[in-house]
A and B are shown apart, each in its own frame.
Chain A
C-alpha cells in the first residue's frame, strides 16, 4: 500500500499552496487520478485524514475524478474505451497515460 506516500505528497503540495495564499483553512482538494495508477481512493482518503490532522487541511474533502488511459492500435489506429492488448486487426495495442495523479484545484478560506 503506497496511498500513504501519495497522501503525504498531496498534503505537502496543498499546504504549500495554502501558505502562498495565506489560507486559514483548506476545505477541498480536487484531484485527477489515472485509471491505471494503483491507488485505492478510499485508502487515499483514509491516509489523508490521518496525515492532515492538526494542519489547516484537516477535514478537507478530497474530490477525486478518474481519467482514462489512451488505448490505440499501433497498426490501424483504432481507439478503444477499455484496456485491450491485441486489436481486431491483429496489431499490438498501445496504452498511454492513465497513470497520473494531478492536483487540479485547491479550495480554501482566506
Chain B
C-alpha cells in the first residue's frame, strides 16, 4: 500500500451553477421575470407577494420554499394564482435543483416569485437563476440585523425594511438600518415599508413595473 495525491479541481457548487443556468435559460425562453424574495423569518415576505398579486395586472406565479408545512402555499393559493410549495426537509435554503423540478408548470406567467426559506445566511450561496434579488427584514428583528448579515445585503438588488410603523414600539432606529444597508450596498434600491399600513408599497409596485418594462425591452 502506498500514498498518492490526485489532482482534482472539482467545483463543489458546480451542480447548483448548472441548474441555475438551465433555470435562467428556461425563464428567458418563456419571457418570465423571476424575483427571488429572501429574508428573515416573519419579515413579511409572503404578505409582500400576496399584496403584489392583488395590486398588479400581470399573470403571476409563486414558488414557496419552507422547511416543512404548506402555510405560505395555502395563503398564496387563495389569490387564484399558480403556486407550488417546495419543502426542503432539512435544508435552510432553496437550491437551483429544487427549483428546477417545478419550473415547467410556470411557463405561462409574466412574473414568478420565489419565496426562499426564512434565513439571512444560507440562501446567499445558492443562485436559483433569478433576475432580481429582494432581501426583506423588519424592524422587530432589531436595528442591527442589517449590519449583522452583510453578505446577503451585498448581493441584493432591492432591500426592504418592513414594519417601520412598529419601530417606535420596539425601539428600533430605521435610519440606522437604512444607512447600514446603503453602506453595504450603494447600488441597491432600499425601501422603508410597512405593509399593514401601506407605507412604501407604491414605491415597490413602481419598481416591479419598471423591472417588467426593462425585462420586456431587454429580454
Contacts and interface: CB of A to CB of B under 8 A. Distances in A.
Contacts of B5: 105-108
A103 B9 contact: yes
Contacts, number: 80
A2 B93 CA distance: 8
B186 interface: yes
B interface: dominant SS: mixed
Nearest to A86: B186
Contact of A106 (B8, B121, B125, B185): B8
A13 to B, nearest CB: 5
Contact of A1 (B2, B11, B122, B185): B122
A92 B5 CA distance: 43
A1 B13 CA distance: 16
A107 B92 contact: no
A55 interface: no
A37 B151 CA distance: 9
A109 B9 CA distance: 19
A interface: dominant SS: mixed
B151 A36 contact: yes
A42 B100 CA distance: 31
B34 to A, nearest CB: 20
Interface in A45-101: 85-86, 92, 95, 99-101
Interface in B1-58: 1-13, 15
A38 B3 contact: no
A99 B91 CA distance: 19
Interface in B121-139: 121-122, 124-125
23 contacts: A1-B122, A2-B92, A6-B12, A13-B10, A13-B12, A36-B151, A38-B122, A38-B124, A38-B125, A38-B151, A39-B125, A85-B183, A99-B13, A101-B12, A102-B12, A103-B8, A104-B7, A105-B6, A106-B8, A107-B5, A108-B4, A109-B2, A110-B1
